[in-house]
């Protein structure tokens, strides 16, 4: 992680380089759980029951779950002449299988840019595999506008396993682009960075329809702070790490003040929040990086919908297991699942603030992401 030669990261502008992807790429998609096995195209066609062209189609009806810009990316199309990589993802906790299809896309001349598209199929081993995800894993796209330039998008998905069953699919992603300050004069540009996640809960993903339509929205939309980006492994420190039930991974901020937040709306009463603090891969990394000290949690007024902070907590340092925060509820207020970091314990070497795990206990539904055992 987070072994950087430059300690003061906040003043260094992120330089977005053009994405160079050849037609003969070799890529293993980032996963947070389970085991990946690469399989041949012929094996995938047999197990998925699809033709080669169907496997390489980019299925645009799944676009835009994270609601960055609905018009983006504009003109990328499947490159049916390119190779394809297919991975079979299996798990210890369940016999369910995910297939990940990585294929090449291209833009027509004169742009000639390329991208990598990922499709995810779910299989319970009995019924025909079902397409549950189709989005750009990595793409640098053309934008037809006068203000927006240098747009780059990364998207991925992760299963949420509860009680030995895939209960949810989390889609998470990053959008980076430059926006010109003026369309008349050359006054430079500012970088815009969006990082979000969305979760679909379903009883049965073998028949689930996760196409992005107005009437088929995700169950949860998660907002969060800008993450630290490893350009060689884009999703190494992003938001899904906080929910993957693997304390060896962490969500790591890259904000100017080293603070961070995770928040999403809910109309249900929240009772507890459980967190594993810091970067707990090992003791050395834990101490070298910032850990959370003080946390604020929000509530919403049930009458006028005003959002206030009426719960604050201090986490203990040097604790590598879950710390449980019991929320104080007030009449006419609903505690919502927000985690706002207000201060931190300083790391010995780096200024990155890290959180390994977080989960939420609701009054009626139990632990949202599977519990703390």
* pLDDT tops 90 at residue 195: yes
How far apart CA 131 and CA 47 sit, in angstroms, is: 13
Q: What's residue 187's pLDDT?
A: 67
Q: Encode pLDDT of 169-194 as tens digits.
A: 999 999 888 776 655 566 666 778 99
Q: What is the 3-state secondary structure (H, E, C) of the chain?
A: CCCCCCCCCCCCCCCCCCCCCCCCCCCCCCCCCCEEEEECHHHHHHHHCCCHHHHHCCCHHHCCCCCCCCCCCCCCEECCCCCEEEEEEECCCCCCEEEEEEEEEECCCCCCCEEEEEEEEEECCCCCCEEEEEEEEEEEECCCCCCEEEEEEEEEEEEEECCCCEEEEEEEEEEEEEEECCCCCCCCEEEEEEEEEEEEECCCCCCCCCCCCCCCCCCEEEEECCECCECCECCCCCHHHHHCCCCCCCEEECCCCCCCEEECCCCCCEEEEEEEECCCCCHHHHHHCEEEEEEEEEEEECCCCCEEEEEEEECCCCCCCCEEEECCCCCCEEECCEEEEEEEECCCCCCCEEEEEEEEEECCCEECCCCCC
Mean pLDDT value across residues 358-371 = 91
- Indicate the range of 8-17, 169-178, 250-259, 339-348 predicted with least confidence: 8-17
First to last CA, the chain: 26
pLDDT at 25 > cutoff 60: no
Percent of the chain with pLDDT over 90: 66
Residue 325 has pLDDT above 90, yes or no: yes
pLDDT (average), residues 138-145: 73
Contact present, 87 and 39 (Cβ < 8 Å): yes
Percent of the chain with pLDDT over 70: 85
Is 221's pLDDT higher than 90? yes
**Is pLDDT of 21 > 50?**
no
Rounded to whole angstroms, how far apart are CA atoms 216 and 65?
A: 10
Across residues 139-158, what is the average pLDDT?
A: 78
Kindly state the average pLDDT of the residues 125-147: 84
What's the average model confidence in pLDDT over 218-243?
96
What pLDDT digit, counting tens, does each position of 60-91 carry?
A: 899 888 866 555 565 788 999 999 999 999 99
What pLDDT is stored for residue 365 in this prediction?
83
Least-confidence region, from 127-136, 140-149, 239-248 = 140-149
Greater confidence (179 vs 222) lies with 222
Asked which of 146-155, 200-209, 250-259 is least confident by mean pLDDT, the reply is: 146-155
When pLDDT is averaged across residues 186-203 and rounded to a whole number, the result is: 86
Residues of the chain with CATH 2.60.120.260: 248-373
Task: Report pLDDT for 131.
Answer: 98
Average pLDDT over residues 248-274: 92
Q: What does pLDDT average to over the chain?
A: 87
Cα-based distances in Å from 74 to 77, 94, 143 = 9, 38, 7
Average pLDDT (235-254) is: 97
* CATH 2.60.120.260, applies to 248-373: yes
What is residue 107's predicted lDDT score, i.e. its pLDDT?
81
């Amino acid at each position: 992680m987070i072994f950087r030669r430059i300690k003061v990261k906040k003043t260094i502008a992120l330089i977005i380089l053009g994405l160079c992807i050849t037609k003969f790429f070799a890529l293993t998609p980032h996963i947070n759980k389970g085991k990946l096995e690469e399989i041949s195209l012929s094996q995938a066609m047999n197990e998925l029951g699809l033709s080669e062209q169907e496997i390489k189609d980019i299925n645009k009806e799944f676009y835009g779950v994270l609601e960055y810009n609905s018009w983006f990316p504009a003109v990328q199309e499947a490159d049916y002449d390119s190779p394809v990589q297919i991975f079979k993802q299996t798990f210890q906790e369940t016999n369910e299988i995910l297939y990940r299809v990585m294929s090449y896309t291209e833009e027509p001349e004169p742009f000639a840019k390329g991208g990598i598209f990922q499709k995810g199929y779910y299989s319970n081993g009995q019924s025909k595999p079902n397409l549950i995800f189709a989005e750009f894993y990595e793409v640098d796209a053309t934008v037809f506008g006068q203000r927006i330039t240098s747009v780059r998008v990364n998207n991925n998905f992760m299963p949420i396993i509860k009680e030995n069953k895939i209960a949810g699919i989390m889609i998470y992603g990053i959008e980076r682009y430059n926006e010109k300050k003026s369309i008349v004069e050359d006054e430079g540009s500012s970088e815009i960075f969006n990082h979000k996640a969305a979760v679909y809960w379903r009883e049965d993903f073998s028949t689930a329809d996760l196409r992005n339509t107005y009437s088929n929205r995700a169950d949860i939309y998660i907002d969060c702070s800008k993450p630290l980006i490893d350009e060689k492994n884009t999703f190494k420190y992003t938001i899904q790490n906080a929910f993957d039930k693997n304390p060896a991974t962490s969500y790591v901020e890259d904000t100017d003040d080293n603070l961070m937040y995770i928040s999403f709306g809910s109309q249900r009463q929240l009772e507890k929040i459980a967190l594993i603090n810091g970067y707990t891969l090992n003791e050395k990394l834990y101490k070298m990086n910032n850990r959370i000290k003080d946390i604020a949690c929000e509530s919403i007024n049930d009458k006028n919908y005003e959002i206030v902070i009426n719960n604050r907590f201090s986490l203990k340092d040097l604790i590598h297991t879950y710390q449980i925060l019991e929320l104080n509820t007030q009449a006419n207020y609903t505690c919502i699942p927000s985690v706002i970091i207000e201060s931190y314990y300083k790391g010995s070497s780096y200024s990155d603030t890290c959180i390994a795990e977080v989960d939420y206990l609701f009054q009626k539904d139990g632990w949202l992401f599977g519990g703390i055992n």
